[in-house]
Amino acid sequence: MKFKIFYKKFLVIFFVDMLLLAAAMIGAHLIRFEFSIPIHFAQSLKSLLPWVLLVKLCCFYMLNLYRGMWRYTSIVDLLNIIKASTVSTLLIISFILFKSSFIGYSRSVFLIDWFLTILFIAGFRLCVRLFFERFSKERPSPSDFLSIFRILSKRKKDRKNLIIIGAGNCGENIFREIHNNTTLRYNIVGFLDDSKNKIGRTIHGVPVLGRIDDITVLIKKGKADEALIAIPSARGQQMRRIVELCKSSDIPFKTIPGYGELIDGKVTTNAIREVAYRDLLGRDMIKLDEKQIGAYLQGQNVLVTGAGGSIGSELCRQICRFKPMSILLFERAESPLYEIELELKKNFLDLNVVPILADIQDKLQIKKVFKKYKPQTVFHAAAYKHVPMLELQPWKALENNILGTANLIEISSKFNIERFVFVSTDKAVRPTNIMGASKRVAEMLVNCHNKNGLSKARFIIVRFGNVVGSVGSVVPLFKKQIERGGPVTVTHPDVTRYFMTIPEASQLILQAGAMGKGGEIYLLDMGTTIKISDMARDLIRLSGFEPDIDIKIEYIGLRPGEKLYEELITEGENIVPTSHEKIMVLKGMECNLQILNGQIDELAILAANQEEKKIKAKLKEIIPEYSPAH
């Protein structure tokens, strides 16, 4: 069946080309003799034409002009047409020269014929491509000319007029993809940009209508139905302004995420999404030293604990870009593990993705994994992070965050890994809750192990603030409350937090792994703190409502273990500059590993007996700056 269809299409194409080649030769004679061909030249044309068609069609066939798909006609096809036309013309000229030395033939006819052949053949193929680009997947039969008008009228009804905010490379990329992808039902009516040099000019024939501030007027001028914010490098303040302008213009709007969120760096229509709070954070993206990261990840066996979590899964995606030999997904929750496994196997076909349903609290299980797969780099992102939940059950924080980390460090050292990167939190700084205290003890354990020289591995700590969009983040809670119509509950009007995006957190971890020599604590330049009440208001506005009018904000008081503000540096830690402008490094304090191990053994006994008060007292002994909140 496929052969019959191919054969039928080939005959149609072959017949069309025959007509076009004949038209080119006849047209060349008409042009040469000013549309009055002398009789003897007309007779020579009549005898020559069949041979011209035979030679040209054979050359076209031999040079693969009938293997390409016309709907994808490109510069390569044009070059092939020029090549085939030139070869066939030279063969014809050589034959005539050898046979009759051009007696009875006009030399200029063959030059004109060469030009018309290229023009007709390339022009027809280009028309076919334009037709397929314009008229979606509906392909009318050659005899059904009225269907073209039917499709045109349908397209105008189905398509939405889109205005693109941003006339840079990203906007141009999006334009080309929408233009080339016939399944995308958009008609781009214009661009907006604040650059004076771009206003009034055109991109692929579509005008840059004016400045972004004039969006209300320009939307009416262009009759736009939707807006797309195509500025991946936009800072938070700029993004807020654009969002407010779109809202005041009463037009639906979407955005392209920042470059930090685009794993492969490519901007496509698949990346288009609703504007989210992370777009308003207002920091430049982290510029990764990809050569430095690739040098320690490429060709390695990499293990990621907590691989199904918010940070862990994004970390896995980023790691896979650097072509490790295998990535070991260490996760105890089966559903998230299955999801990240499927995603990575789909997007990274040549990579060995190994899902491991396991728990860091099970030392024997960890040992078997290390013995079988021999990881060289370990990213430890598995942890309990929910502050109020761990205040109610502090022994769980000890079992997972401290004892689990101790298990992983011990076995990593025995198997002589190269790097161990521990993911920590700003709540470990002068902690007021069990979660922060448990992470601080884990930091001390990582730091001590490195400084005592018990292993050749580099033990590195990465510390950062709250992560927007993670499972434990306040953002999902606020969104659910907004969906229910409010109220949105904030603990305190003055509570502030540092925030970063999931890609930022993952990139910081990778960069720290590349930079760390062992014993350092790395943290991102987090900028200024953000008021949670301001965040709540921004999210309400992004959802199309007005705070305190459509949706109320209620203050419910600090929860167990919470404090008004977070810090990134604790007493005794000194900031040391790094080669990366966005990353700071702290030198950890000296410690005695033997004493710390003894204290952790005591914590293990208290955790097994679930003795809450004694757990807090022991943590206070280990961490003098720990002050449990009441």
Residue 293 in this model has a pLDDT that exceeds 80? yes
Residues in the chain: 630
251/314 same-domain check: no
Per-residue pLDDT reduced to its tens digit, 12-45: 777 888 888 888 888 888 888 888 788 777 777 7
577/614 same-domain check: yes
> In this structure, what token pair is assigned to residue 431?
């902690």
Residue 140 placed within a domain: no
pLDDT band with cut points at 50, 70 and 90 for residue 67: low
CB 460 within 8 A of CB 421: yes
Q: What is the DSSP-derived secondary structure letter of residue 135?
A: S
Residue 341 placed within a domain: yes
Range of the domain at 38: 2-134
For residue 59, give the nearest of 22, 91, 98 by alpha carbon: 91
> In this structure, what token pair is assigned to residue 453?
């020289």
Q: What is the DSSP-derived secondary structure letter of residue 270?
A: G
pLDDT of residue 85: 87
pLDDT of residue 145: 40
CB 102 within 8 A of CB 96: yes
Question: Which 3-state string (H, E, C) describes 221-260?
Answer: HHCCCEEEECCCCCCHHHHHHHHHHHHHCCCCEEECCCHH
Q: Which of 198, 385, 396, 427 is catalytic?
A: 427
pLDDT of residue 464: 78
Residue 193 placed within a domain: yes
User: What is the rounded CA–CA span in Å between residue 612 and residue 394?
Assistant: 7
User: What is the rounded CA–CA span in Å between residue 309 and residue 469?
Assistant: 11
Per-residue pLDDT reduced to its tens digit, 560-570: 666 676 666 65
247/355 same-domain check: no
445/593 same-domain check: yes
Cα 147 versus chain centre, distance? 40
Structurally, the chain folds into a number of domains equal to 3
pLDDT band with cut points at 50, 70 and 90 for residue 141: very low
Helix (H) or strand (E) holding 530: strand 530-531
User: What is the rounded CA–CA span in Å between residue 182 and residue 193?
Assistant: 26
Residue 141 placed within a domain: no
Per-residue pLDDT reduced to its tens digit, 480-498: 888 788 888 888 888 877 7
pLDDT of residue 192: 87
Contacts of 215 (CB under 8 A, 6+ apart): 163, 165, 192, 227, 245, 246, 249, 251
Could you give the angle at the alpha carbon of 501 between the alpha carbons of 495 and 504, nearest 5°?
125
DSSP 93-121: HHHHHHHHTTTTS-HHHHHHHHHHHHHHH
Q: 3-class DSSP state for residue 153?
A: helix
- Please compute the mean of the pLDDT values over residues 172-192 and round it to a whole number: 78
Distances (CA, A) of 497 to 80, 426, 470, 528: 62, 10, 15, 9
Residue 204 in this model has a pLDDT that exceeds 80? no
Domain boundary among 275, 306, 331: 275
Q: What is the DSSP-derived secondary structure letter of residue 273?
A: B
427 catalytic residue (yes or no): yes
Pairing verdict, β 206-210 and 202-203: antiparallel
Residue 487 placed within a domain: yes
User: What is the rounded CA–CA span in Å between residue 321 and residue 262?
Assistant: 11
6/49 same-domain check: yes
pLDDT of residue 139: 45
> In this structure, what token pair is assigned to residue 293?
């990261």
pLDDT band with cut points at 50, 70 and 90 for residue 473: low
CB 510 within 8 A of CB 462: no
User: What is the rounded CA–CA span in Å between residue 210 and residue 190?
Assistant: 9
195/297 same-domain check: no
For residue 182, give the nearest of 165, 158, 205, 164 by alpha carbon: 158
Provide Rg for the chain, Cα atoms. 34
User: Where is mean pLDDT largest: 16-30, 147-161, 529-543?
Assistant: 16-30
Q: What is the DSSP-derived secondary structure letter of residue 558?
A: P
Residue 438 in this model has a pLDDT that exceeds 60? yes
Residue 149 placed within a domain: no
Q: Which one has a higher pLDDT value, 78 or 379? A: 379
270/300 same-domain check: no
54/127 same-domain check: yes
The domain spanning residue 417 has which CATH number? Answer: 3.40.50.720
